[in-house]
Amino acid sequence: MSDKSFLAWPFFEARHRELSEQLEAWCRTELPRDHSDVDATCIQLVRDLGKAGFLEGTAGEHIDVRSLCLIRETLARHDGLADFSFAMQGLGTGAISLYGSDEQKLWLDRTRRGEAISAFALSEPRSGSDVAQLDTTAERDGDSYRLNGEKTWISNGGIADIYTVFARTGEGPGAKGLSAFLVPADTPGLEIRELLESVAPHPLARLGFNDMVLPASALIGQPGQGFKIAMSVLDVFRSTVGAAALGFARRALEESLSRSRFRELFGATLADLQMVQGHLADMALNVDAAALLVYRAAWTKDQGAERVTREAAMAKLFATDQAQQVIDQAVQLHGGDGVRKGHIIESLYREIRALRIYEGASDVQKVVIARSILAEE
Ligand code: COS
């Protein structure tokens, strides 16, 4: 049984505890899923999560970040692909929730019901961490825009029904000349150039935009606002990446605790050995510290803070880096089983790695934190 004592922390309300219980019950009957065809599994997971009502809070005027974090943490503990399917529905529509027109927001009913899948298309071959130098262009042409360029590492690429695409519109230099667009997947000119495989497979693609014509109504927010839109979406969703890492770490700790209690060696159990106790203590400490940072960031945003850039960066940086350590210790405590293909610990070891890279690599989070504290008087 997973440790739920954190739900008594003052960050949470009764509705969060209810949500956690309902989702836990759903996970016990629905997860884990077969990962042999990740595209088909993700499509089905989005449909099922939508039908069960768990996508309801991923989009809209008021996104409750604590609920998003609780859901990601719980799903990640049971199945990384379920967490991924859930997370992308929020990230892919975040710009529409925060800045979209009424017409664009009509898509949100479909994404919340799990009937449409969404994707966030920001990264490019030449610009991952340095968003301000992206090369994709959107040239104004009368009442429309003409999009040309390439995006890569796009989660849900190939299975998404809508993409939020960031492109250079040139109102100003660098970060001041970007805009965001809502691109339905059936728009002529969208090409899936390559399906990308990773250590923890999920739908991932390199996309091309070949002279794609979009109506001016596809613009999300104002021209030139794209960088700010991307950053404020990341402000909301970065702490949820920390929450997913926390879920993976909790599972690693749970598995390690149960193994330590029964595995016998040197005439005792693993749990009797002080060296093992040291590992377990470090793991538990890092899990609790990560949870505090994740839910501090989520709670701060839910209280109405305009920017949670520093809190979200700290939550993501600490939770993902520490989850990597916790899972590595779990591998050590599981011996050969920890690296056996198909074992839960082996899959956690693969699942955690990308979280220290996507939605802002650990090194970028350090830059964000340092700039933020240096800017304070
Ligand atoms: N919310 C709102 N506005 C923000 C913001 C935020 N979180 N962060 C920055 N801005 C604003 C700044 O205030 C600044 O506006 P002014 O020029 O009006 O002052 C503008 O945006 C430019 O900011 P900055 O100068 O900090 O931009 P940089 O190009 O130096 O980039 C980093 C900053 C590195 C932090 C940014 O590029 C980043 O987060 N990179 C990682 C991207 C990422 O997560 N990629 C993964 C893609 S999704 S898998």
The predicted model gives 124-134 an average pLDDT of 95
The predicted-structure confidence for 273-311, as pLDDT tens digits, reads as follows 999 999 999 999 999 999 999 999 999 999 999 899 999
What is the distance, to the nearest Å, from the Cα of residue 87 to the centroid of all Cα atoms in its chain? 5
Ligand 1 centroid–CA 227 distance in Å is 7
- What residues does ligand 1 touch, defined as CB less than 6 Å away? 120, 122-123, 128-132, 175, 227-228, 231-232, 234-235, 307, 309, 358-360, 364, 367-368
Distance CA 17, CA 364 (A): 33
CATH code where residue 136 lies: 2.40.110.10
376 residue type, one letter: E
Task: Encode pLDDT of 92-102 as tens digits.
Answer: 999 999 999 99
> Average pLDDT, stretch 190-196?
98
Nearest ligand 1 atom to the CA of 123 is: 47
pLDDT at 8: 97
Share of the chain above pLDDT 70, in %: 100
Using the mean position of ligand 1's atoms as its centre, give its distance from the Cα of residue 292 in Å. 25
236 and 184 in one domain?
A: no
Domain boundary among 84, 113, 142: 113
- What was the pLDDT predicted at 2? 84
CA of 368 to the centre of ligand 1 (A): 8
Give the residue among 264, 287, 288, 286 at the shortest CA–CA distance from 276.
Answer: 264
Counting the structural domains of the chain, the total is 3
pLDDT confidence band for 61 (50 / 70 / 90): confident
Question: How many residues does this entry show for the chain?
Answer: 377
Q: CA-CA distance, 260 to 241, in Å (whole number)?
A: 29
- The sign of the CA dihedral 90, 91, 97, 98 is positive
The answer to whether the beta carbons of residues 326 and 283 sit under 8 Å apart is yes
Are 51 and 142 part of one and the same domain? Answer: no
Give the residue from 155, 157, 172, 199 showing the smallest Cα distance to 358.
155
pLDDT tens-place string over residues 328-358: 999 999 999 999 999 999 999 999 999 999 9
pLDDT of residue 320: 98
**Quick check: is 21 catalytic?**
no
The residues pairing with 118 across neighbouring beta strands, listed in sequence order, are 162
Q: How far apart are CA 95 and CA 97, in angstroms?
A: 5
Question: Would you state the structure tokens that stand for residue 350, as one six-digit string?
Answer: 């693969």
pLDDT at 1 over 90: no
145: nearest Cα among 205, 229, 220: 220
Q: What is the pLDDT of residues 199-213, one digit of tens each?
A: 999 999 999 999 999
Could you tell me how far CA 337 lies from the centroid of its own chain?
Answer: 28
The residue assigned the tokens 């989850």 is: 323
Q: For residue 112, how far is the Cα from the chain centroid? A: 16
What does the pLDDT average to over 115-124?
98
Q: Which atom of ligand 1 is nearest to the CA of 234?
A: 44
Whether residue 158 sits in one domain with residue 101: no
Whether the per-residue pLDDT at 142 is higher than 80: the answer is yes
Q: How far is Cα 40 from Cα 49, in angstroms, rounded to an integer?
A: 14
Amino acid at 88: M
Over residues 361-365, mean pLDDT? 97
Q: Of 255, 311, 351, 359, which one is the catalytic site residue?
A: 359
Q: Whose CA is nearest to atom 43 of ligand 1?
A: 360
Residue 169 has pLDDT above 80, yes or no: yes
Q: How far apart (Å, rounded) are the C-alpha atoms in residues 72 and 290? A: 14
Based on the domain organization, do 86 and 12 belong to the same domain?
A: yes
Whether 321 and 258 map to the same domain: the answer is: yes
Q: CA–CA separation, 166 vs 327, rounded Å?
A: 35
Distances (CA, A) of 76 to 160, 208, 210, 254, 368: 21, 31, 36, 13, 26
Q: Please determine, for residue 227, whether its predicted confidence score (pLDDT) is greater than 80.
A: yes
Q: How far is the CA of 129 from the centre of ligand 1 (A)?
A: 10
**Residue 11's CATH number:** 1.10.540.10
Average pLDDT over residues 159-174: 98
pLDDT at 376 over 90: no
Q: Which residues are paired to 103 by β-bridges?
A: none
Asked if residue 84 and residue 192 are part of one domain, the reply reads: no
Amino acid at 67: S
Considering the domain architecture, whether residues 207 and 327 belong to the same structural domain is answered as no
- Segment 49-73 shows an average pLDDT of 96
Q: Of the candidates 54, 80, 113, which is a domain's last residue?
A: 113
Specify whether the backbone of 182 is left (phi greater than 0), alpha (psi in -120 to 50) or beta: beta
Ligand 1 atom at minimal distance to the Cα of residue 175: 22
CATH number at residue 244: 1.20.140.10
CA 128 to ligand 1: nearest atom: 45
Residues 129 and 72 in one domain: no
Distance, CA of 195 to CA of 88 (rounded, Å):
17
Token pair belonging to 261:
């209690």
Provide mean pLDDT across the span 79-85. 98
Report yes or no: 81 and 134 within 8 Å, Cβ to Cβ.
no
Instruction: Report the DSSP pairing between strands 204-215 and 162-168.
Output: unpaired
For residues 208 and 334, state if they share a domain: no
Q: Residue range 45-67: average pLDDT?
A: 96
Task: Kindly tell me the sign of the dihedral angle through the C-alpha atoms of 338, 342, 348, 350.
Answer: positive
Average pLDDT value for the chain? 97
The answer on 363 and 342 residing in a single domain is yes
Percent of the chain at pLDDT > 90 equals: 98
Distance CA 125, CA 270 (A): 47
- CA 83, distance to chain mean position in Å, is 8
Do 341 and 237 share a structural domain?
Answer: yes
Q: Is 167 found in the same domain as 241?
A: no
Q: Residue 3 pLDDT > 90, yes or no? A: no
Using the 3D structure, point to which of 113, 135, 151 is the last residue of a domain. 113
The domain in which residue 264 lies consists of 227-375
- Measured between alpha carbons, how far is residue 340 from residues 33, 93, 253, 345 in Å? 19, 37, 18, 8
Where residue 16 falls among pLDDT bands split at 50, 70, 90?
A: very high
For residue 232, how far is its CA from the centre of ligand 1 (angstroms)? 9
Residue 312's SS3 state is: helix
Q: What average pLDDT does the segment 17-36 reach?
A: 97
